[in-house]
Amino acid sequence: MTPALAPTALAAFQAELTAGGIVTRLLERWAGGAVRAEVLVGADVPPSPDTRVRLAAGDAAIGFRRVRLLCGDTLLSEADNWFVPARLTPAMRALLDGGDTPFGRVIVPLSPRRETLSCERLPGDPMLLVRALVLTGEGLPLADVVERYRTAILDRH
């Protein structure tokens, strides 16, 4: 590929992000280190009717988690995550309730994959706004997420 046709770092990151893999792994690869979730306590946003439909939740309880994902002290992204707690094991729920483990790392035993619903480039920082559905390996919806990715990801790569 000639240099003039080489994708920019943003285009490369966006392509990997929307390819369906787990974001925690992608961020760790791009940031060059372990990623942790800083849970923003007190944030509680009820699910929209569309979120409830995407999650095929019926009358099931829907949990909410707002996090900042960091590598060291570097903020990589912020995310709102609506999920169906009943589809997670008690151990998974305990990890989400009591610590800084990213959702993507917690649900690895469920062989998760992602479907990107939208990906919008933004001027400035955050640089990308992504909405995605996280599913089990069998296709059962686990989470509806809205993510805002920071330019620091590109600086660390």
Taking only the tens place, the pLDDT of each residue in 125-147 is 999 999 999 999 999 999 999 99
Predicted TM-score of the model (pTM): 0.91
Distance between CA atoms of residues 145 and 80, nearest Å: 6
SS3 label, residue 40: coil
Domains (ranges, CATH) in the chain?
3-156 (3.40.1410.10)
The tokens describing 31, both together, are: 């940031």
Instruction: Give the E-state strand segments of 26-100 in sequence order.
Output: 36-39, 63-71, 74-83
- Tens digits of per-residue pLDDT, 3-58? 333 359 999 999 999 999 999 999 999 999 999 999 998 778 999 999 999 999 99
Dist CA 139 CA 112 (whole Å):
8
Q: What angle do CA 74, 75, 79 make, to 5 degrees?
A: 155
Q: Tell me how far apart the alpha carbons of residues 79 and 24 are, in angstroms, rounded to a whole number.
A: 12
Q: What is the per-residue pLDDT across 65-85, written as a single tens digit (0 to 9) for each?
A: 999 999 999 999 999 999 999
